């Protein structure tokens, strides 16, 4: 991952994944996404596997398409990172207040 916006999005997803594990496994929060909550009920391996597979797929598609339209990919990843961060922080706040 040689592009800053790709690394930023990957770091956000990894931080979200690890913080979700830490908070949910200790009873400090709940997972609001029904699919992710279902995966957690199956086991943490399923949760981590799907999160990392989704990240890998998104990065692979973005980096493949970057060759055709680098400005578009940069902007999409930047907007995606901001949206992901907003949803992560918002979800964490709602979860901590509701839990």
Query: Is residue 15's pLDDT more than 80?
Result: yes
Q: What is the pLDDT of residues 56-92, one digit of tens each?
A: 999 999 999 999 999 999 999 999 999 999 998 888 7
98 or 77, higher pLDDT? 77
Residue 8: the pLDDT is: 92
Within 8 A by CB and 6+ apart from 23, the residues are 29, 92, 95
Residue 44: the pLDDT is: 98
Q: What is the pLDDT of residues 40-55, one digit of tens each?
A: 999 999 999 999 999 9
Residue 1: the pLDDT is: 64
Query: Is residue 93's pLDDT more than 90?
Result: no
């Amino acid at each position: 991952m040689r592009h800053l916006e790709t690394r930023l999005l990957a770091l956000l997803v990894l931080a979200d994944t690890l913080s979700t594990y830490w908070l949910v496994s200790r009873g400090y929060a709940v997972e609001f996404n029904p699919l992710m909550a279902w995966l957690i009920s199956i086991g943490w391996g399923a949760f981590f596997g799907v999160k990392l597979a989704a990240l890998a797929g998104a990065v692979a598609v973005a980096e493949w398409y970057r060759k055709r339209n680098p400005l578009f990919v940069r902007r999409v990843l930047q907007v995606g990172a901001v949206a992901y961060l907003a949803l992560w922080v918002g979800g964490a706040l709602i979860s901590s207040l509701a839990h």
